[in-house]
């Protein structure tokens, strides 16, 4: 049996290096954090071949006295904490004292530094963990760290490095994360002989964001701000039209430290629920500020993950702040001459800020029948106003008319008269010019519209011409009405005289029976019919004469995809979206003028009329300025 032995300091440092120093980007991150902690207001990073060959970080911070240079490269030597209690009130970027020792162990390392009081600088070299002597050198106040031949003495680690361009991509990301967190300081990144970023100090955080990611992003940024006691959130989120197929452009900074937190990413996704299609992710730049003793930053070697004292409070604050701002912003896609490329013909969706409508966001966490957040819009449409005409038969059971109205009628308080198709051109021109007191104007927008190609509705408002996808808008109207009704209790049911039996797989059968109570709240009642056969005995009246098998197939899909991780609110939302999609008018359905106007009237009662529940836009606005430009009137 092998005997127990004490590991040498060199082996200990190599193990630490394996945890802290994964690639050249890890070196850049650690050295830049040290420069920030040294109160440098200018930091320059230079790399050669993606950092695999050479890295230099220069700062003008307060420097290190010569006698402490050997301590700087010793393991667990630091000026940033004194005892274990300090770990719970960390205000610096680094604090463990492992970084320089780990880097010096696996590279050819040089450290030069000078304090403001010293007449000259001092230099220390370390090669593969072998520490040399401190010698004087000439240099300005600050610190210079050079790292050459990273992993030269650990060939297995070096073998796993990627191509220089790939490694430089990681270096750039590390540089951007820190420079984003400190906009009041100057940063410069050089790769070989090429300057990649030259970021002067700025007063506005937005200017730093735009300097890194480009002007195209600027017009899509929506400012957000919210406070709850000592918890503060500020920053920017991009409107839904500007998204990515990955989460790499989600920058969450906690007390200036870049973090990755699944809970906060989930809150972000919830805030954008219904605004983005599946597979697309929002873009954000958010700064969370809280007392340092509210968070433990000592849970991950690279400090990317943290542990909150009250993670639920942080989650709710992020979600409610973003949702509140979305409710006061018109996210309808616009084609605007000021933003669309000249002659491109490509619409450039831009968010349009509008005054708050007075809607209130309420986070619902108690009632099992409620959805994750509930918004109270003015006079929400009831189920009596959506397409399935429900009435009671002789036995008191709810049944669905075989020929229901396809589109909701205008709300009872609406003064919108039924539309009459124009008989001639003059009528059409008159109809397109509403007067200020025209009853066809609801919520500052013209309600009357026309249908084209049996799929699009065309109307106007004060911005220009509005083209609406009839299915997407009707789907949103139905979804919000269903959600409102579900928050108040079960949905109206249609009971089947003869249950519909469907043969399922054993896994599907088990998933359906396990979720039976949840499905009952949605108006879907099922029973086991023996073996792997499920009997459907009732389903929501809004689905009309839908096939029982089709309903169960649609229902079981999110159950199987979510497996054990599916939450009740997610299931409800998936099924409500399915119901709304199935019941909504489709592309190709011919609508009467009255149905067109009724659907347009309902648009202004929706809280998120600009997107369908799946995240597709419901409307596109061609502004008058853009039309004038394209007709060469400007």
- Please state, as a whole number, how many other Cβ atoms lie within 10 Å of the Cβ of residue 361: 18
In CATH, what is the architecture of 9-199? 2-Layer Sandwich (3.30)
Q: Indicate whether 448 pLDDT > 80.
A: no
Q: What is the pLDDT of residue 361?
A: 29
Q: How far is residue 382 from each of residues 379, 412, 480, 493, 624, measured CA to CA in Å?
A: 9, 11, 10, 15, 35
Picking from 10, 12, 30, 11, the residue whose alpha carbon sits closest to that of residue 20 is 30
Q: What is the pLDDT of residue 583?
A: 85
Task: Give the separation between CA 546 and CA 580, rounded to whole angstroms.
Answer: 13
Average pLDDT over residues 205-217: 94
How many percent of the chain have pLDDT more than 70? 74
Q: What is the pLDDT of residue 18?
A: 60
Average pLDDT over residues 569-586: 82
Q: Indicate whether 343 pLDDT > 50.
A: no
Q: What is the pLDDT of residue 354?
A: 37
Average pLDDT over residues 324-343: 63
Q: What is the pLDDT of residue 79?
A: 59
Is residue 174 within 8 Å of residue 28, measured between CB atoms? yes
Task: Give the separation between CA 416 and CA 440, rounded to whole angstroms.
Answer: 6
Q: What is the pLDDT of residue 216?
A: 87
Of the listed ranges 149-163, 179-193, 300-314, 449-463, the least confidently predicted one is 300-314
Of the pLDDT bands very low, low, confident and very high (cuts 50, 70, 90), residue 227 is very high
Task: Give the separation between CA 131 and CA 125, rounded to whole angstroms.
Answer: 6
Q: What is the pLDDT of residue 431?
A: 33
Of the pLDDT bands very low, low, confident and very high (cuts 50, 70, 90), residue 569 is confident
Average pLDDT over residues 341-359: 37
The CATH 3.30.565.10 portion of the chain extends over: 9-199
Task: Give the separation between CA 58 and CA 147, rounded to whole angstroms.
Answer: 12
The CATH 3.30.230.10 portion of the chain extends over: 205-329
More confident call, 431 vs 498: 498
Q: Indicate whether 403 pLDDT > 80.
A: no
Of the pLDDT bands very low, low, confident and very high (cuts 50, 70, 90), residue 85 is low
Average pLDDT over residues 60-73: 93
Top mean pLDDT of 111-120, 243-252, 294-303, 455-464 is at 111-120
Task: Give the separation between CA 182 and CA 187, rounded to whole angstroms.
Answer: 9
More confident call, 518 vs 533: 533
Verdict on whether the full-model pTM lies above 0.85: no
Q: What is the pLDDT of residue 384?
A: 34
Is residue 372 within 8 Å of residue 390, measured between CB atoms? no
Average pLDDT over residues 133-160: 94
Q: What is the pLDDT of residues 4-45, one digit of tens each?
A: 766 676 766 666 666 678 899 999 999 999 999 999 999 999
Average pLDDT over residues 191-212: 96
Is residue 629 within 8 Å of residue 338, measured between CB atoms? no
Q: What is the pLDDT of residue 562?
A: 55
What is the separation, in whole angstroms, between the first and last Cα of the chain? Answer: 89
What is the three-state SS of 198-246? EECCCCCHHHHHHHHHCHHHHCCEEEEEEEECCEEEEEEEECCCCCECC
Average pLDDT over residues 527-555: 86
Of the pLDDT bands very low, low, confident and very high (cuts 50, 70, 90), residue 395 is very low
Q: What is the pLDDT of residues 598-624, one digit of tens each?
A: 899 888 888 888 888 888 889 988 888
Q: What is the pLDDT of residue 16?
A: 61
Average pLDDT over residues 101-123: 95
Residues 6+ apart with CB under 8 A from 519: 512, 525, 526, 555, 575
Q: Indicate whether 363 pLDDT > 80.
A: no
Q: What is the pLDDT of residue 564?
A: 46
Is residue 600 within 8 Å of residue 593, measured between CB atoms? no
Q: What is the pLDDT of residue 548?
A: 84
Q: What is the pLDDT of residue 530?
A: 86
User: Phi and psi for 480 in degrees, rounded to 5?
Assistant: -70, -35
What is the three-state SS of 264-314? HHHHHHHHCCCCCCCCCECCEEEEEECCHHHEECCCCCCCCCCEECCHHHH
Task: Give the separation between CA 34 and CA 257, rounded to whole angstroms.
Answer: 13
Average pLDDT over residues 90-119: 83
Task: Give the separation between CA 393 and CA 402, rounded to whole angstroms.
Answer: 13
Of the pLDDT bands very low, low, confident and very high (cuts 50, 70, 90), residue 115 is very high
Looking only at the bridges linking them, the beta strands covering 231-238 and 221-228 are: antiparallel
Which ranges of 362-515 does DSSP label H, i.e. alpha helix? 425-431, 470-488, 506-514
More confident call, 109 vs 631: 109
Q: What is the mean pLDDT of the chain?
A: 78
Q: What is the pLDDT of residue 12?
A: 67
Residues 6+ apart with CB under 8 A from 458: 449, 450, 451, 452, 465, 466, 467, 468
Q: Indicate whether 526 pLDDT > 90.
A: yes
Q: What is the pLDDT of residues 408-447, one digit of tens each?
A: 544 433 333 333 333 333 333 333 333 333 333 334 444 5
User: For 332-471, where are the E strands, in sequence order?
Assistant: 333-335, 352-353, 360-363, 373-376, 390-392, 398-400, 441-442, 445-446, 450-452, 456-460, 464-469
Residues 6+ apart with CB under 8 A from 429: none
CA atoms within 13 A on the CB side of 401: 11
- Could you tell me how many residues make up the chain? 634
In terms of Cβ atoms closer than 10 Å to its own Cβ (0-12, 13-18, 19+), residue 388 is buried
Secondary-structure class of domain 205-329 per CATH: alpha beta
């Amino acid at each position: 049996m092998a005997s127990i032995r004490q590991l040498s300091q060199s082996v200990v440092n190599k193990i630490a290096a394996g945890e802290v120093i994964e690639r050249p980007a890890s070196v850049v991150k650690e050295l830049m954090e040290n420069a920030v902690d040294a109160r440098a207001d200018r930091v320059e990073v230079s790399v050669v071949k993606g950092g695999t060959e050479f890295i230099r970080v220069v700062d003008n911070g307060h420097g290190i006295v010569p006698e402490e240079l050997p301590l700087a490269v010793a393991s667990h030597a630091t000026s940033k904490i004194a005892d274990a209690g300090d770990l719970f009130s960390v205000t610096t970027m680094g604090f463990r004292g492992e970084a320089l020792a780990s880097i010096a162990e696996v590279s050819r390392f040089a450290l030069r530094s000078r304090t403001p009081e010293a007449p000259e600088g001092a230099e220390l070299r370390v090669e593969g963990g072998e520490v040399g002597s401190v010698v004087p050198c000439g240099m300005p106040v600050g610190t210079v760290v050079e790292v050459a031949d990273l992993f030269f003495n650990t060939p297995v680690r070096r073998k796993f490095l990627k191509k220089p361009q790939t490694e430089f991509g990681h270096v750039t990301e590390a540089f951007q994360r820190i420079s984003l967190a400190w906009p009041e300081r100057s940063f410069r990144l050089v790769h070989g002989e090429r300057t990649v970023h030259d970021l002067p100090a700025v007063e506005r955080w937005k200017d730093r964001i735009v300097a890194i990611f480009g002007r195209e992003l600027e017009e899509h940024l929506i400012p957000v701000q919210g406070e709850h006691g000592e918890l503060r959130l500020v920053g920017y989120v991009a409107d839904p039209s500007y998204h990515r197929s990955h989460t790499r452009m989600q920058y969450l900074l906690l007390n200036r430290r870049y973090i990755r937190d699944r809970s906060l990413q989930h809150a972000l996704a919830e805030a954008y629920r219904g605004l983005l299609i599946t597979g697309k992710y929002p873009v954000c730049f958010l700064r969370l500020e809280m007392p340092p003793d509210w968070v433990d930053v000592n849970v991950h070697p690279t400090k990317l993950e943290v542990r909150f004292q009250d993670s639920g409070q942080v989650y709710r604050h992020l979600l409610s702040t973003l949702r509140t701002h979305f409710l006061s912003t018109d996210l309808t896609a616009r084609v605007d001459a000021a933003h669309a490329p000249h002659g491109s013909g490509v619409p450039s969706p831009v968010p349009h800020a509008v005054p708050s409508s007075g809607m209130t966001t309420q986070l619902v966490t108690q009632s099992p029948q409620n959805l994750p957040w509930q918004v109270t819009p003015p006079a929400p449409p009831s189920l009596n106003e959506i397409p399935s005409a429900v009435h009671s038969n002789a036995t008191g059971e709810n049944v669905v008319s075989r020929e229901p109205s396809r589109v909701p009628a205008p709300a009872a308080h609406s003064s919108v008269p039924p539309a009459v198709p124009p008989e001639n051109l003059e009528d059409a021109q008159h109809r397109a010019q509403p007067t200020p007191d025209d009853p066809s104007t609801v919520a500052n927008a013209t309600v009357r519209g026309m249908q084209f190609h049996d799929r699009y509705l065309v109307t106007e408002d004060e911005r220009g011409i509005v083209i609406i996808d009839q299915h997407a808008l009707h789907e949103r109207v139905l979804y919000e009405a269903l959600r409102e009704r579900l928050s108040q209790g079960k949905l109206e049911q249609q009971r089947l005289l003869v249950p519909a039996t469907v043969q399922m797989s054993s896994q599907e059968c088990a998933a359906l029976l396990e979720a039976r109570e949840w499905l009952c709240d949605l108006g879907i009642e099922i029973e086991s019919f023996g073996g792997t056969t499920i009997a459907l005995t009732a389903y929501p009246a809004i689905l009309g004469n839908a096939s029982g098998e089709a309903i169960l197939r649609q229902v079981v899909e999110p159950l199987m995809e979510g497996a054990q991780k599916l939450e009740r609110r997610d299931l409800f939302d998936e099924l409500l979206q399915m119901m709304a999609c199935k019941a909504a008018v489709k592309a190709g359905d011919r609508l009467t003028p009255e149905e067109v106007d009724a659907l347009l009237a309902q648009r202004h009662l929706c809280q998120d009329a600009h997107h369908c529940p799946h995240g597709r836009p419901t409307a596109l606005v061609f502004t008058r300025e853009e039309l004038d430009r394209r007709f060469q009137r400007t």
